[in-house]
Amino acid sequence: MQYSSMDHFILIICSMIAAFIPRFLPLKFFSTRKIPEWFNEWMKYVPVSLFTALVIRDLFVNTKTYTFVGLEYMAKLLAAIIVIVVAYRSRSMGLSVLFGLVAVAILATFLTV
């Protein structure tokens, strides 16, 4: 099946709308209402919990078989520890990412990734 430029354009527009609506509707809904304090307090933990779920899965789960691998990915685990220390001390996302990438690159040459 051949796709035309118009098909691609329509797909891009539909994708834009699908990405825009979940961001716009909550903003529109909550801009006119007072958000309860308990909700604001609860929302502080959402980014940390999502980030933790992603990191733990990458460190301890084989994504091909979805099995627990324990300490098989020692290079990633050591790099994660380095990133935690750098992030805690510097409070800088940029430095944390930079140190994490360098740590994985160096450790991967010596340990199993």
> Domain ranges in the chain?
1-33, 36-111
pLDDT in tens, 46-70: 877 887 887 888 888 887 888 888 8
Percent of the chain with pLDDT over 90: 27
Nearest to 79 by CA among 50, 53, 58, 100: 100
Q: What is the pLDDT of residue 57?
A: 84
Q: Which two tokens stand for residue 58?
A: 């990458």
pLDDT in tens, 73-84: 888 889 889 988
CA–CA distance, 58 with 1 (Å, rounded to integer): 37
- Whether 27 has a pLDDT exceeding 80, the answer reads yes
- Whether 4 has a pLDDT exceeding 60, the answer reads yes
What integer is the mean pLDDT of 33-55?
82
Structure letter (DSSP) for residue 45: T
For the chain, the average pLDDT equals 86
Q: What is the pLDDT of residue 112?
A: 60
